Amino acid sequence: MTKLSVNINKIATLRNARGGNVPNVLTAAINCQLFGADGITVHPRPDERHIRYNDVLEIKPLITTEFNIEGYPSKEFITLVLSVRPDQVTLVPDPHDAITSNAGWDTLKNKIFLTEIVSEFRKKGIRTSLFVDTNPVNIENAALTGTDRVELYTEPYASGFNRNAIEAVEPFIKAAEIARNAGIGLNAGHDLNLDNLRYFHQSIPWIEEVSIGHALISDALYLGLENAIQMYKRQLA
């Protein structure tokens, strides 16, 4: 069954907008798990505009499911991940000022760089995933780094879904098949929501995990957090 990892960055964004500790990201992490999430995802950035490095340290002992830390593998990020030892680390090629992740790795150009980092994390028993687009070259070279999984960047699917769902998902099916044939696991994330998630999952039923934050937290404002999580879980059933 495909797992749902809830990204709680947007809860931290709301907290940081006012200062103080409301809403409490630690309580959010606990509740997301109680409400059915299969994991918690955080993406600390250098400016700490949402999840802070200290949040990551405080969240780790509260995780009873799986903990996924996303981010660009800077020296500070690598040190944090090795200290926390999450279940999974997802490496993204974000520049320091990125509003959100908007591209996958060029794994051919960065193969040596990524291979060294993947090896360092795997030695510590941390599952690795590389954020990639559907370009076969990037998936094939991702597999050569020794990574356990790739995470498909699904914004192109989401943006094309309402125009032509079959056409939008086709390159992702092909990419998923390349990953499977290469012997690596498959995750997906970015702009998946209640409108497009079920079709994506039905098209690629062997996907192991989806990471969803912005859409789910936004839906929770109207539906409630527990109801939103359960509605997303039903799309993956």
Neighbours of 61 (CB within 10 A): 9
Domain around 213 = 3-235
Q: Which of 110, 44, 50, 112 is nearest to 83 (CA)?
A: 44
pLDDT at 103: 76
Number of domains in the chain: 1
Q: pLDDT of the chain along its 237 residues, tens only?
A: 999 999 999 999 999 999 999 999 999 999 999 999 999 999 999 899 999 999 999 999 999 999 999 999 999 999 999 999 999 999 999 765 555 566 789 999 999 999 999 999 999 999 999 999 999 999 999 999 999 999 999 999 999 999 999 999 999 999 999 999 999 999 999 999 999 999 999 999 999 999 999 999 999 999 999 999 999 999 999
**Residue whose pair of structure tokens reads 């098209």 in the numeric block:** 203
Which pLDDT does position 94 carry in this prediction?
75
Give the CA distances from residue 23 to residues 11, 44, 167, in Å, rounded to whole numbers and listed in that order: 7, 17, 40
- Is 190 annotated in the active site? yes
| 226 part of the active site | no
Tokens representing 64 are 């009873």
Using the Cα atoms of residue 15, residue 20, residue 25 and residue 30 in order, give the sign of their dihedral.
Answer: negative
Question: Can you tell me whether residue 46 is helix, strand or coil?
Answer: coil
Catalytic, 96? Answer no
CATH number at residue 98: 3.20.20.70
Closest CA to 68 of 5, 1, 133, 131: 5
| Residue 62 DSSP label | G
Instruction: Please give the structure tokens belonging to residue 220.
Output: 């929770």
Out of 50, 151, 190, 209, which one is annotated catalytic?
A: 190
Q: Are 42 and 51 in contact (CB under 8 A)?
A: yes
pLDDT at 102 (0 to 100) = 64
Q: Which of 50, 66, 70, 201 is catalytic?
A: 70
Q: Please, what's the b/e burial string for 122-152 (b: 16 or more CB within 10 A of its CB; e: otherwise)?
A: eeeebbbbbbbbbbeebbebbbebbbbbbbb
39 bridge partner residues: 5
Determine the angle formed by the axes of helices 225-235 and 25-34, rounding to 10 degrees.
Answer: 50
SS3 state at 68? strand
